[in-house]
Amino acid sequence: MKLDKWFVRISRAWERYLFTGTLVLLFLLITFQIIMFRDTARNIFSITERKEGEVYLPVKKEEYSNTGNQEAPGKGEGSLTEQKKIKLEVVSPQKEIDLKVIIDHEKEVAFKNNTASLFVNPGELIEVKGELDEDVPAVVKVVSSPGLKYPSEGKEVTVFGEYEIIGWVLPEEDGEN
């Protein structure tokens, strides 16, 4: 019966190690959760926190690896970082109405003669907002968007007065048509 005593002794030792390890891990979990309430700690431990607010630009590896460019992808010159021009038009109603294009909740461009031309950067959000007097909504159409994958030409958005999203600006990658 030495085997039974040996098994009980080993089992109790393992049980103590597992219990102690669980307590340590629980303590570390609670400690790190409390630490993450501080902004400086979040910046140190979380890459997402550091990258917040930066525009994500999908760049092909060849575009920056062979040029000796030491900057991060998307920071240099090229089709994925330059501004693009978009032209919007109010399709209906035909009369002049008070509509504005809002870019990233900051810049506003007003429609003049039912058209608006604006320059946008990749990753920006384009919205339309307006003061409509009637129950008839306005229809806004993307007339031209050269060099952009999205919003594409011909896209229509129905505006009821509140913010209506046209879309995020997404440039065409090299070689795409």
* Cα separation, 177 vs 172, whole angstroms: 8
Are 124 and 102 in contact by the 8 Å Cβ rule? The answer is no
Domain that holds residue 163: 84-171
Are 102 and 108 in contact by the 8 Å Cβ rule? The answer is yes
In a domain, 79, yes or no: no
In this structure, the answer to whether residues 90 and 165 fall within a common structural domain is yes
* Residue 65 CA to its chain's centroid (Å): 25
In this structure, the answer to whether residues 132 and 89 fall within a common structural domain is yes
This prediction's pTM = 0.51
Give the pLDDT confidence score for residue 170 in this predicted structure. Answer: 83
In this structure, the answer to whether residues 42 and 88 fall within a common structural domain is no
In this structure, the answer to whether residues 30 and 91 fall within a common structural domain is no
Residues in the chain predicted with pLDDT less than 70, given as ranges, are: 1, 55-81, 94, 133-134, 174-177
* Cα separation, 153 vs 87, whole angstroms: 9
- Which backbone phi and psi does 116 adopt, to 5 degrees? -145, 130
Count of domains observed in the chain? 2
In a domain, 42, yes or no: yes
In a domain, 60, yes or no: no
**Residue 168: which of 77, 52, 84, 50 has the closest Cα?**
84
